[in-house]
Amino acid sequence: MEHAKKLLNEANESLKRADHLASVTFKLINDPKLLWVALENTHKAAINCMNSLLQFDYIYKRIPHIPEVFKEKLRLFKETTAKRYTISRETIILIADLQELVEKHKASSMEFVRKDKFVIASQDYRLRTLDIKKVKDFVEKTKMFINKANLLFKSSDRRS
């Protein structure tokens, strides 16, 4: 149980960093590169929250194991854990989108800033852009997801 709580605490910390970067620091500095840092923290928060819920289910023997590969982990989360805790389809799409953006950034040959947007170019020059509105939307959706997990852990603490 401690490992699941630790993951959830890490998710909360990453979300605080992302929220501060998107709502305070970006306004002061106005550097679109900060959008990427905020998105990375949002991604870390969402993944840690998903992992904490999977760990929670694993501890209580609701799932047999937690896969190592992200796609398998997301599939397991979608089919079992998300249904059990009524986590919306939108949240699962959010996690997949965040993962895809991080993977595209790792594989990208180029990134640049244009008109208050952070642009990621793939090998075949397909562009993905990040602006402050998109990042804040990711942060808000992740915040709702993590709040749901926090409530779940609090209610399980009261029962034990």
What pTM value is reported for the model? 0.95
Instruction: Let me know: does 56 contact 84? Beta carbons within 8 Å.
Output: no
* Sign of the four-CA dihedral 68, 93, 121, 133: negative
DSSP 115: T
- Read off the pLDDT of residues 15-66 as tens digits, 9 standing for 90 and up: 999 999 999 999 999 999 999 999 999 999 999 999 999 999 999 999 999 9
- The tokens describing 70, both together, are 């992200």
The answer to whether 22 and 132 have CB atoms below 8 angstroms apart is: yes
C-alpha to C-alpha distance for 122 and 145, rounded to whole angstroms = 30
**Structure tokens of 159?**
């029962």
Q: Band of the pLDDT at 152, cuts 50, 70, 90?
A: very high
Q: What is the pLDDT of residues 65-99, one digit of tens each?
A: 999 999 999 999 999 999 999 999 999 999 999 99
Would you say the C-alpha torsion 20, 21, 26, 29 has a positive or negative sign? positive
